[in-house]
Chain A
Amino acid sequence: MSGAPEQRDWNLPKDQNPNREKARAIRARQRAIGRELRRMYDDIAQEPIPDDFADLLRKIDENDAQSGKRVS
């Protein structure tokens, strides 16, 4: 019966209830994973932007200038 929930031992104080301890451990783990996810995401967001992006936006500007003359 490995899937059955652990029985509370009523002789233990409330905060040493194995289920509570397990829940607390899971919450701590969730927070750690949350921090790790944000760290990975932020690390990438803080990388210097490759030059290709500047080139691309320059091209957009140039196209814009040309179509600007034609259209408006």
Chain B
Amino acid sequence: MGQHSISSQNLPTAPVTQDFKSELLGLIPFLRAFARSLTGNQEAADDLAQETLVKAWQSRDTFIPGTNLKAWLFTILRNQFYSDRRRAWRQAPWDQEAAERIPGGGNDQSWAAELSDTARALRCLSDEQREALILVGAGGFSYEDAARICSCAVGTVKSRVARARKALIAILEGEDKLPSIPRPDEGDAAREIMAQLDRLAPNRSAEELARQQARRDKDSGS
């Protein structure tokens, strides 16, 4: 990270602004990680993280010093993600290229093709469950901060995280489809997971399309 440090010594900015900027810099890695979990695609994620930095910088006066800057940035990033996605769907609803950049739409590139089963299974969760699980389970946020970031109740985050964990296990173990069949050996398990994902993915896409359509209807109505 050292070779990318930003030089800004010659600027007539107040020390507070400098602190804010260096804190922003330090949080870029986490913005990229959260963005990747939302978009499932590195390029789209980095675009999103950069948009977030610009937005954060423009709205820096609204940040209350002493509060959680990371949570504040994640909130901006998340809002930006959903508003970009709504706009993409409004402008070019059936544009294949745009659809491919949207998780759950088109040919999802996932976190990467070589990814672990867990990463693949993660893409099968609903957006709400996935983001809650990432924030709490990977990002180390408290349920309270995750609730603020997702603008929902703490109880809602808790139940989303719990359901996400359960769903991941069910997908990975194939338990939801195979309640009483003895555990297959490892080779069979891997094939079963892939078959499971194949079965789940089309449904998920259909649900996603329906949800997108509903959002678009709502937006065009307002």
Contacts and interface: CB of A to CB of B under 8 A. Distances in A.
Main secondary structure of the interface of A (DSSP, over half): helix
Given A2-B180, A41-B134, A44-B36, A54 B118 contact: no
A72 B6 CA distance: 23
B12 A68 contact: yes
A65 B116 contact: no
B118 A46 contact: no
Interface in A47-63: 47-54, 56-58, 60-61
A60 B54 contact: yes
Contacts of B119: 36, 40
A30 B138 contact: no
A23 interface: no
B50 interface: yes
A57 B165 contact: no
A37 B138 contact: yes
Given A33-B169, A51-B4, A41 B37 contact: yes
Interface in B26-40: 28-30, 32-34, 36-37
B4 A40 contact: no
Given A49-B32, A52-B50, A53-B28, A68 B13 contact: yes
5 contacts: A33-B118, A37-B133, A37-B134, A48-B1, A64-B11
Interface of A: 2-3, 26, 29-30, 33-34, 36-38, 40-42, 44-54, 56-58, 60-61, 64-65, 68-69, 72
